Copies of this chain bind each other. A is one copy, B any other.
């Protein structure tokens, strides 16, 4: 299968079948324009009635094209998709993405149509993604997502590959959240009904991509493809961490998944256990998907069995809430000995020596300066029993400067230990944020996300220890 997916992600020539000469918002038109103006593939529009698009010829069928198409992207009514697929087979197309809905997710009639489509593709050795999907986002070559580019945001290029059973969840949550969190993406796939290409195929393909270091999946329910995916994950996870978020856990969620992509109901406990046993990191919330992927992008090569973290804050309340969240996530925030507290206190500036609370979480108070954070962090990371640190910086406080990120970054470079910084989500702190991230410290905008990142490291360590 892997060879065929190469063709899916690297087509030289692409036919977009179903463009309208009257409706510029038709999905096929958006796909055609997107690729014509923004991607490297050579793209041709097709509509049986022919005509023109901005003075460029619209071809009546794939057999009319001046070049052989490697890939066909199809957005026509479900009923005529089999006919189109036959023409693609005759034209020697190697891969096909069917955007159209109206297949297995709509009941028996649609399922028959889908079976027919698969049969045609299989006999002609065409690799099929979909139907009922957004397809493949593979910059800079091709992008079959039918959303107007001016309405969407894209994550920067990077080393995480994502596949999702829901196209909208992929675009609206994963890709948008990645954009906001500054996480880089290599490729993304909306799998839809998974009539042919499924989770396992994509996992193995991602595993072989040099530009991909982390793999992320959104799945709904469990079926044969997911079972094989879980089995194969065992081989992949040790070299490329795999994050999975699973929808359709509740009874009503399962029902919704059935009518969405014809997904089969699954017992959630079974899924959970199987994921864990394969070394997969299961994200329990949408927010964990982003947190897990981001911390792995910063610290993927440091599998560890995370036991003890230090929490460094300028706010007692933040420390209290961090302790609560850490307890739920199974993260240990060990109480520091009197001796250690004494040693930290000696490092602090006189104005906070008498008011800082140093038990862990360490509360340096709202009068703390960059220097106090720098010294306390350096001291704590030097201790063997402290494996990671969560630094809660509030740039509100008067003595903190915009250098705090770069200063703490220099400290972190001395040690091979993950450190995560909390910085409030305000545009005015952009400068501080960059100082952290450019120096190897990922930034989160909520305490919860910070604890989620520590949880990812703990899960990764657990899976390595197995």
Residue of A165, A170, A357, A447 with most chain B CB atoms under a 10 A cut-off: A357
In the complex, A367 has a CB within 8 A of chain B: yes
Footprint of B on A, CB under 8 Å?
25-27, 30, 78, 101-102, 105-106, 146-148, 150-153, 164-172, 176, 180, 218, 220, 247-253, 255-257, 259-261, 285-287, 314-324, 326-328, 333, 335, 354-355, 357, 359, 361, 363, 365-367, 394-399, 424-426, 428, 446-448
Contact A105 B327 (CB under 8 A): no
Q: A324 and B394 in contact (CB under 8 A), knowing A168-B315, A316-B260? A: no
Contacts A172-B315, A428-B151; is A102 near B354 (CB within 8 Å)? Answer: yes
Q: A428 to chain B: which residues have CB within 8 Å?
A: 150-151
By the criterion CB–CB under 8 Å, are B256 and A323 in contact? yes
Point out the residues of chain B lying under 8 angstroms from A320, CB to CB.
Answer: 166, 220, 247-248, 253, 256-257, 260
B317 touching A165, Cβ below 8 Å:
yes
Tell me if B328 and A250 are in contact (CB < 8 A): yes
Q: Which residues of B contact A30 (CB under 8 A)?
A: 398
Query: Which one of B78, B170, B256 lies within 8 Å of A361 (CB-CB)?
Result: B256
* B27 engages A367 (CB within 8 Å): yes
Closest beta carbon of chain B to A344's beta carbon, Å: 13
Q: Smallest Cβ distance from A27 to chain B, in angstroms? A: 7
Given contacts A249-B327, A253-B324, 11 further A-B contacts (CB under 8 A): A27-B366, A101-B365, A169-B318, A169-B321, A247-B317, A247-B324, A248-B323, A252-B333, A255-B323, A256-B322, A260-B319
Contacts of A395 in B (CB 8 A): 151
Q: Decide if B396 touches A363 in the complex (CB within 8 Å).
A: no
A258 to chain B, nearest CB (A): 9
20 A–B contacts from the bound complex (CB under 8 Å): A27-B366, A101-B365, A102-B354, A152-B396, A166-B316, A168-B316, A172-B318, A249-B327, A250-B324, A252-B323, A253-B323, A255-B323, A256-B320, A256-B323, A257-B316, A259-B316, A259-B359, A286-B446, A286-B447, A287-B446
The smallest beta-carbon distance between A51 and chain B, in angstroms, is 20
Name the B residues within 8 Å of A165 (CB-CB): 317
Inter-chain CA distance A323–B180, complex, in Å, is: 26
**Most chain-B Cβ atoms within 10 A of its Cβ — which of A256, A286, A335?**
A256
A152 neighbours in B (Cβ, 8 Å): 396
Contacts of A151 in B (CB 8 A): 395-396, 428
In the complex, A152→B256 CA distance in Å?
A: 43
Cα separation A426 to B152 with both chains bound (whole Å): 9
* A425 to B: closest C-beta gap in Å: 7
A335-B255, A357-B259 known; A148 vs B398 contact (CB < 8 Å) = yes
Q: Which B residues are in CB contact (< 8 Å) with A146?
A: 366, 398
User: What separation, in Å, do the CA atoms of A369 and B337 have in the docked complex?
Assistant: 63
B contact residues around A321 at 8 Å (CB)? 169, 247, 253, 286
Q: By CB atoms of chain B within 10 A, which of A253, A354, A395, A447 has the most? A: A253
Cα-based distance from A216 to B100 in the complex (angstroms): 48
Known: A146-B366, A286-B448. A164 touches B256 (CB 8 A): no
CA gap between A255 and B409 in the complex, in Å? 30
Task: List the B side residues contacting A448 at CB < 8 Å.
Answer: 285-287
**Within the assembled complex, what's the spacing in Å between the Cα atoms of A318 and B167?**
10
* Chain B: minimal CB distance from A357 (Å): 4
B366 touches A164 (CB 8 A): no
Q: Are B327 and A259 touching (Cβ within 8 A)? A: no
Contact of A248 among B153, B285, B324 (CB under 8 A): B324
Known: A30-B398, A323-B252. Contact between A317 and B169, CB under 8 A?
yes
B316–A256 CB distance below 8 A: yes
Question: Of all chain B residues, which has the CB nearest A335?
Answer: B255
